[in-house]
Structure 1
Amino acid sequence: MLPDRDRLKGGLIVSVQAPEGSPMRQCEVIAAMAEASLNNGAIGVRLESPEHIGAVRRRCPEALIVGLWKRTFPDSPVYITPGWEEIQAVWAAGADVIALDCTERQRPDGADLAELVQRARRDLGAVLMADVDSLVNGVRAAELGCQWVGTTLFGYTEATAEQQPPAWDLLPGLSQQLPDGALLICEGGIASAEQARQAIGLGADAVVVGTAITGVDLQVAAYRRALEAF
């Protein structure tokens, strides 16, 4: 059962993920990082793949888990929980909230976003987090039935490729235009505690931080590049 809105407001959700090929991607490592995050005050964790969701659920049975499954298909740029198979798998693995791409882009096999949202709500009773890139897509996702809206894809779609996260310009509009009861999540590009506070000040209810906390591979590579520049 999800915490009530008051407990979620102002909270930190840690994205515990690792790239393909990384030794950090092992289930036991992901579960340990998730537990450490929760032990130190995170209100929840965001996890990729049914395997990682299941591993964290077993280790941290009371955890709030936002789950997704990244899969790529040749006929679509959508890869965050793109279809019904992925939605079912994430839910069955133990996620409390299912995150999925809710941009206007074509989905694999021409799947319809509205139908996917309706089916997940009706057949699973799932809480859905819409990963969006724009004000229009965020409002539309909430109208379709997504209870959470995140700025996850701002700067990562063709339409926003020239934008740089965090989504400072997007948060105030979403905060004003999302329907009452929708939870606004700032995700993407948050690199410090100060930026997390800034996101809340701009209207976010909670923030998701990943690379800056758990992204060992990317963080080390960034330090190496900076030092090699001298």
Structure 2
Amino acid sequence: MLKALKGGIIVSCQAYEGEPLYGADIMARLAIAAKEGGAVGIRANSPADVRAIKQAVSLPVIGIWKAQYEGSDVYITPTMKEAAAVAEAGADIIALDATSRPRPHGEQLEEMVKRLKKEYGCLLMADVSTVEEGLQAEAIGFDMISTTLSGYTSYTHKQEGPDLKLVQELAVQLSVPVLAEGRIGTPDEAMQCVRHGAYAIVVGGAITRPEYITKKFVDALGAAVATGADDGHAVPGGHHS
């Protein structure tokens, strides 16, 4: 399964309640579209979405279940409850927050890894934000490491694009595959991740969130129009100020 992911694009098909594309049936259709476009895998949130996508496509599915718990900042598959549910829904790979932050109910990441390996025999992906977290995740048994949470923890800096430095440092220091994920918005950025050592690339919003994609176009056009107006240049279809 890992070989099937190598050098490919994994598409994250996720939508939150209240968003236009929310719903397992819609996520399944997005997964079909991603497969037709050449994706090698799908990342999905919640047992319902994992189950629907597994029925719709034959690609490997990375399953997560985002859940908020009071007193903890960990929300990507934070406890054994969510991990077990995603596994039972059919996920081929389970992704867990593998940061150094305290987990809900005092659960320990190492114990979760042991239980998931023993009870479900699935592959595990560690979503990390630093090199140290990646090294620790490999040491306790994760099968692959992803840069998902770089810039999303209080102790890491959020930059405009992907964290290429983290991708490269993890790729050099780890023996398990390193996946690049987070703020990858263009094919060129995906290629940069590969050049920095990424085993595979996970892309979400740039492919599967039309409201986000539309806003990028709208913002860019708005900025261009504003600049043109400020410079005294004509705007097509408009007038000089």
TM-score after normalising by structure 2: 0.89
Q: Following superposition of structure 1 onto structure 2, how do residues 15-26 of structure 1 map, counting pairs within 5 Å?
A: 15-26=12-23
CA–CA distance in structure 1, aligned partners of residues 217 and 103 of structure 2: 36
Give the deviation of 1:59 after TM superposition.
1.6
Which structure 2 residue ranges, 5 or more long, are not aligned?
227-241
- The SS at the match of 1:218 is helix
Task: Give the structure 2 partner of residue 110 of structure 1.
Answer: 106
In the alignment, structure 1 residue 51 sits paired with structure 2 residue 48: yes
CA–CA distance in structure 2, aligned partners of residues 26 and 210 of structure 1: 16
Task: Give the structure 1 partner of residue 126 of structure 2.
Answer: 130
Q: Which amino acid aligns with 1:219?
A: I
- The SS at the match of 1:169 is helix
Task: Give the structure 2 partner of residue 183 of structure 1.
Answer: 177
Query: Aligned pair count?
Result: 224
Deviations 1:63-106 (A, max 9, x none): 21001000001110000000000000100111000011000001
More relative contact order, 1 or 2 (CA 8 Å, 6+ apart): 1
Task: Give the structure 2 partner of residue 9 of structure 1.
Answer: 6
Q: Which amino acid aligns with 1:207?
A: I
Give the deviation of 1:19 after TM superposition.
2.6
Task: Give the structure 2 partner of residue 65 of structure 1.
Answer: 61
Give the deviation of 1:224 after TM superposition.
3.6
Which structure 1 residue ranges, 5 or more long, are not aligned?
none
CA–CA distance in structure 2, aligned partners of residues 134 and 147 of structure 1: 17
- The SS at the match of 1:23 is coil
Deviations 1:116-156 (A, max 9, x none): 11111111111100000000001110111000100000001
- The SS at the match of 1:87 is helix
In the alignment, structure 1 residue 212 sits paired with structure 2 residue 206: yes
Work out whether residues 171 and 202 of structure 1, in 8 Å CA contact, stay in contact via their aligned partners in 2: yes
Cα RMSD (Å): 1.4
- The SS at the match of 2:35 is helix
Of all paired residues, the percent bearing the same amino acid is: 40
Select 2:89's aligned residue among 58, 70, 93.
93
CA–CA distance in structure 2, aligned partners of residues 169 and 23 of structure 1: 35
Q: Which amino acid aligns with 2:208?
A: T
- The SS at the match of 1:14 is strand
CA–CA distance in structure 2, aligned partners of residues 19 and 220 of structure 1: 17
Q: Which amino acid aligns with 1:97?
A: I
Work out whether residues 132 and 153 of structure 1, in 8 Å CA contact, stay in contact via their aligned partners in 2: yes
Work out whether residues 12 and 43 of structure 2, in 8 Å CA contact, stay in contact via their aligned partners in 1: yes
Give the deviation of 1:209 after TM superposition.
0.5
Select 1:200's aligned residue among 171, 194, 206.
194
- The SS at the match of 1:186 is strand
Larger Cα Rg: Structure 1 or Structure 2? 2
